[in-house]
């Protein structure tokens, strides 16, 4: 019977009721080649230290719950494998740029409020009856928004974005990608209603095209494209707003 | 179990030195630093314009300054900076454009980048040719 | 939410950045390396007679002005953003220094180019 391979996992702990500052804690975890970082954390919680707190659900990179910093980079822990991090140590920290509630759990409420604020639903161009039937879209029309609809709200892009880190009021890459998903959908007529957010400093104008958001996105949404495309749209809106009173936004 | 929930006390981590935490951010900072070279070169040129307006003697003084070893070093730094600027500029350019399609297929955004480089090479050749013509 | 005025400066930043990307490298090579040291180009290319004539011509004037001004606006916008990145808030003073500086360079270029005449 061969010895189990061991790896050191260091976790930044934070328990507000017992400490003022986060503190690193080290665990020695046996691992096999098929184990994810999430499974490593689950081993710690089940066998070593039941007080470790972290979010997870689907363990297959679709729910967006298990985002965390692994060796300084934002990752989904269910999609990051211990074999790739061996011999370790593996340093795990809560998602960057978010306040830590406890251990690896961050405050997500502001993010959810931002999602709600961009009117993330089809606003029809004109009222439509059932008798008119379904909308028709060409594959090209679908392709204009489809990748932006793949977002799983995992917030890795927010951890990648230094502008969000510096200004938590920045609406951010994920939410702007969601906004763009609707603006770019040929069925939608709500662009003018969403422009107020786009045009504000907290909208696209906080972005400096670092581009890291698109690098870390596990679903290849390319939020950098969504945000920077809308800089052009916002600039057009800014300069041409006096020409078209009917179509201009506030 | 009838425990009161512990009071929430969210901990906010510092953004001090954030750009040193990841090589990606260091590359971003290097790109942003090229702005100093662009500014400095603009100032070199505007001083030249001022000297040109002041007459031949002043202009020749500016030309002589360009022949110093410090000026050469400075312009080599400018050269490198402008190349880094162009490279990063054309890499970002596709991100500012909507998704493009040719004949129903999604066009590779890298084509925008290569087009930018092509335009730069063409513009550079044209400038150099203009210079050759100008000195004849 | 208040509409941002960033589009003005972003448009100037974009125009300057595009010119810098397309022409900057060769311009630096010509004006700072080739001509002063006579490598591949003659030092006489930028002598007073030629440059004065170039600057008197409205195309030459326009070219010089656009390059000097837009490079300055591009650089200052980026510098302002970089100051913010290292923790210096985009307050009124920072904006005055940066955009004010670009405006100063623009005005000097315009005034001097006009002074050179036609």
Q: Are residues B58 and B91 in the same domain?
A: yes
pLDDT for the residue numbered B101: 87
> Chain A residues with CB inside 8 Å of B94's CB?
225
Query: For residue A2, what pLDDT is reported?
Result: 53
Query: Is residue A21 domain-shared with residue A68, that is, in the same domain?
Result: yes
> Residue B136 — very low, low, confident or very high, per pLDDT cuts 50/70/90?
confident
Position A167 in a domain: yes
| B9, part of any domain | no
Task: Indicate the pLDDT class of residue B44, thresholds 50, 70 and 90.
Answer: very high
Asked if B104's CB is within 8 angstroms of A139's CB, the reply is yes
- pLDDT digits over C27-37, tens only? 999 999 999 99
Do B92 and A22 count as a contact with CB atoms less than 8 A apart? no
Looking at A54-172, list the stretches that DSSP marks H as alpha helix, in order from N- to C-terminal side.
82-85, 109-117, 139-146, 156-160, 162-166
For residues A48 and A165, state if they share a domain: no
By the 8 A CB rule, do A30 and A39 touch? no
Inside any domain, residue B37: yes
pLDDT score of A183 more than 70: yes
Q: How far is B125 from chain A (nearest CA, A)?
A: 30
Q: Report CA-CA distances (Å) from B34 to B37, B38, B81.
A: 5, 6, 5
Do A95 and A124 share a structural domain?
A: no
For residue B29, pLDDT beyond 60: yes
Domain of B69, CATH number, reads 1.20.1300.10
Measuring CA to CA, which residue among A156, C74, A198, A229 is closest to residue B92?
A229
pLDDT of residue B104: 77
Q: Label residue A3 by pLDDT band (50, 70, 90).
A: low
Q: Do both B41 and B65 map to the same domain?
A: yes
Looking at A85, A106, A127, the residue that finishes a domain is A106
Q: Which chains touch C (3 or more CB pairs under 8 A)?
A: A, B
Assess whether A92 and A181 both reside in one domain.
Answer: no
Q: Which residues of A107-131 are buried (b: 16+ CB within 10 A; e: fewer)?
A: bbeebeebbeebbeeebeeeeeeee
Residue A1 has pLDDT above 60, yes or no: no
In chain B, the number of structural domains is: 2
Cβ neighbours of residue A16 closer than 8 Å, sequence gap 6 or more = A101, A102, B6, B7, B8, B9, B10, B11
Together in a domain, A235 and A144: yes
Q: Give the residue numbers in C contacting A (CB under 8 Å), as ranges.
A: 1-8, 10-11, 81, 84-85, 87
- A-interface mutation test, from B4, B5, B11, most A Cβ less than 10 A away: B11
Domain identity same for B32 and B85: yes
Looking at the structure, tell me whether residues A121 and A46 fall in a common domain: no
Shortest CB distance from B95 goes to which of A73, A100, A224? A224
The answer to whether A85 touches A33, Cβ cutoff 8 Å, is no
pTM, two decimals, is: 0.93
Same domain, A151 and A219: yes
CB pairs < 8 Å spanning A and C: 39
Q: Are residues A122 and A62 in the same domain?
A: no
What tens digit of pLDDT does each residue of A128-166 get? 999 999 999 999 999 999 999 999 999 999 999 999 999
* Closest alpha carbon within chain A to C10: A235
B104 in the same domain as B89: no
B102 and B90 in a common domain: no
Nearest-CA distance from C98 to chain B in Å?
A: 11
> Among the three residues A106, A135, A168, which one is the final residue of a domain in this structure?
A106
Nearest by Cα to A173 from A160, A191, A192, A183 = A160
Shared-domain flag, residues B110 and B46: no
* Position B8 in a domain: no
Neighboring chain A residues of C81 at a CB cutoff of 8 Å: 208
Distance from CA of B4 to the nearest CA of C (A): 39
Range of the domain at B68: 18-96
CATH of C6-116, one of 1.20.1300.10, 1.10.150.530, 3.90.1150.150, 3.30.530.20: 1.20.1300.10
> Has residue B12 been placed in a domain?
no
| B132 and B108 part of one domain | yes
Which residues of chain C neighbour A199 with C-beta distances below 8 Å?
A: 1, 3-4
Say yes or no: B115 and B64 in one domain.
no
**Contact state of B66 with C36 under an 8 Å Cβ cutoff:** yes
Q: What is the pLDDT of residues A189-211, one digit of tens each?
A: 999 999 999 999 999 999 999 99
Both B58 and B92 in one domain: the answer is: yes
When the pLDDT of each residue in chain A is averaged and rounded to a whole number, the result is 95
Q: Which residues of A touch C4 (CB under 8 A)?
A: 199-201, 203, 205
Domain that holds residue A229: 109-240
Q: Closest residue of A to C6, CA-based? A: A205
pLDDT given for residue B102 in this prediction: 86
Residues from chain A contacting residue B106 (CB–CB below 8 Å): 143
Same domain, A123 and A216: yes
**Do residues C16 and C71 lie in contact, with contact meaning Cβ atoms separated by under 8 Å?**
yes
pLDDT of the residue at B6: 64
pLDDT given for residue B128 in this prediction: 96
Residues of chain A above pLDDT 70, percent: 96
| pLDDT reading at B45 higher than 80 | yes
Q: Which residue of A has its CA nearest to C88?
A: A166
User: Does B5 reside within a domain?
Assistant: no
Residue A9 dihedral angles phi and psi, to the nearest 5°: -115, 120
From B90's Cα to the closest Cα of chain A, the distance in A is 12
**A32-35 long-range CB contacts below 8 Å, 24 or more apart?**
A32/A4, A32/A5, A33/A81, A33/A83, A34/A81, A34/A83, A35/A81, A35/A82, A35/A83
Is the minimum CB–CB distance between C88 and chain B shorter than 8 Å?
no
- Show which residues on chain B lie within 8 Å of chain A, measured between beta carbons: 6-13, 15, 18-19, 21-22, 24-25, 28, 32, 92, 94-99, 101, 104, 106
Report if residue A245 sits inside a domain. no
Q: What is the CATH number of the domain that holds A161?
A: 1.10.1060.10
At B47, the pLDDT band (50, 70, 90 cuts) reads very high
| Domain count across chain A | 2
Q: Identify whether B23 is part of a domain.
A: yes
Q: Which of B42, B49, B119 sits opposite C72 (nearest CB)?
A: B42
Q: How many CB atoms lie within 10 A of CB A48?
A: 13
* Domain harbouring A64, CATH code: 3.10.20.30
Domain ranges within chain C, ordered by starting residue: 6-116
Q: How confident is the model at residue B1 (pLDDT cuts 50, 70, 90)?
A: very low
Do B78 and B126 fall within a single domain? no
Domain membership of residue A246 (yes or no) is: no
This complex has an ipTM of 0.96
pLDDT (average), residues B28-54: 97
Asked if A203's CB is within 8 angstroms of C7's CB, the reply is no
Residues of chain C with pLDDT under 50: none
Domain boundary among A75, A106, A137: A106
Whether A143 sits inside 8 A of B106 (CB atoms) is yes
The pLDDT assigned to A249 comes to 52
Please, are residues A69 and A94 in contact by the beta-carbon 8 Å criterion?
Answer: yes
**Distance (Å) from the alpha carbon of A107 to chain B's nearest alpha carbon:** 8
- Cβ of residue C78 closer than 8 Å to a chain B Cβ: yes
Domain identity same for B80 and B34: yes
Q: What is the pLDDT of residue A101?
A: 97
Q: What is the pLDDT of residues A43-102, one digit of tens each?
A: 999 999 999 999 999 999 999 999 999 999 999 999 999 999 999 899 999 999 999 999
DSSP string, A199-241: HBTTTGGG-----HHHHH-TT---HHHHHHHHHHHHHHHHHHT
Q: Is residue A250 part of a domain?
A: no
| pLDDT at position B30 | 95
- In chain C, residues 46-75 whose CB comes closer than 8 Å to chain B: 46-48, 50-52, 54-55, 64, 67-68, 71-72, 74-75
- The nearest CA of chain C is from the CA of B108 a distance in Å of 21
Please tell me whether residues A217 and A148 are part of one structural domain. Answer: yes
């Amino acid at each position: 019977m061969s010895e189990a391979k061991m790896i050191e996992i260091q976790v930044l702990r934070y328990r507000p009721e017992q400490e003022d500052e986060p503190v690193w804690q080290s665990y020695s975890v046996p691992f096999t080649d098929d184990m994810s970082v999430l499974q490593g954390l689950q081993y710690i919680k089940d066998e070593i230290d039941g007080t470790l707190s972290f979010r997870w659900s689907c363990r297959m990179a679709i729910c967006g719950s298990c985002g965390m910093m692994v060796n300084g980079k934002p990752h989904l822990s269910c999609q990051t494998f211990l074999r790739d991090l061996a011999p370790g140590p593996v340093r795990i920290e809560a998602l960057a740029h978010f306040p830590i509630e406890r251990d690896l759990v961050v405050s997500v409420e502001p993010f959810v409020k931002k999602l709600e604020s961009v009117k993330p639903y089809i606003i029809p161009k004109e009222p439509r009856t059932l008798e008119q039937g379904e909308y028709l879209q060409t594959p090209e029309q679908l392709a204009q928004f489809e990748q932006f609809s793949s977002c799983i709200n995992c917030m890795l892009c927010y951890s990648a974005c230094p502008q969000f880190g510096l200004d938590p009021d920045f609406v951010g890459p994920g939410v702007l990608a969601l906004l763009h998903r609707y603006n770019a959908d040929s069925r939608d007529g709500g662009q003018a209603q969403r422009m107020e957010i786009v045009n504000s400093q907290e909208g696209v104008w906080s972005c400096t095209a670092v581009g890291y958001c698109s690098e870390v996105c596990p679903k290849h949404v390319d939020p950098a494209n969504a945000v920077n495309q809308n800089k052009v749209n916002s600039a057009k809106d800014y300069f041409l707003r006096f020409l078209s009173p009917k179509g201009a936004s506030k | 179990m009838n425990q009161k929930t512990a009071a929430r006390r969210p901990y906010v981590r510092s953004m001090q030195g954030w750009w040193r935490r990841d090589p990606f951010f260091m590359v971003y900072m290097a790109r942003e630093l090229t702005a100093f070279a662009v500014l400095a070169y603009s100032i070199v040129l505007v001083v030249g314009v001022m000297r040109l307006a002041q007459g031949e003697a002043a202009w020749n003084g500016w030309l002589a300054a360009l022949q110093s070893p410090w000026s050469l070093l400075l312009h080599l730094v400018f050269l490198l900076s402008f190349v880094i600027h162009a490279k990063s500029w054309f890499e970002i350019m596709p991100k500012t454009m909507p998704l493009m399609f040719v004949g129903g297929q999604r066009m590779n955004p890298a084509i925008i980048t290569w087009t930018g480089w092509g335009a730069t090479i063409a513009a550079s050749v044209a400038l150099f040719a203009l210079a050759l013509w100008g000195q004849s | 939410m208040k509409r941002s005025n960033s589009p003005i400066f972003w448009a100037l930043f974009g125009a300057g950045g595009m010119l810098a990307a397309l022409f900057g490298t060769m311009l630096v090579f010509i004006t700072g390396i080739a001509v002063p040291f006579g490598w591949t180009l003659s030092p006489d290319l930028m002598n007073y007679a030629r440059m004065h004539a170039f600057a008197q011509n409205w195309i030459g004037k326009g070219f010089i002005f656009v390059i000097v001004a837009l490079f300055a606006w591009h650089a200052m916008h980026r510098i302002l953003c970089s100051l913010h990145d290292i923790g210096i808030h985009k307050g009124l003073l920072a904006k005055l220094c940066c955009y004010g500086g670009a405006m100063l360079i623009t005005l000097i270029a315009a005034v001097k180019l006009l002074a050179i005449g036609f």
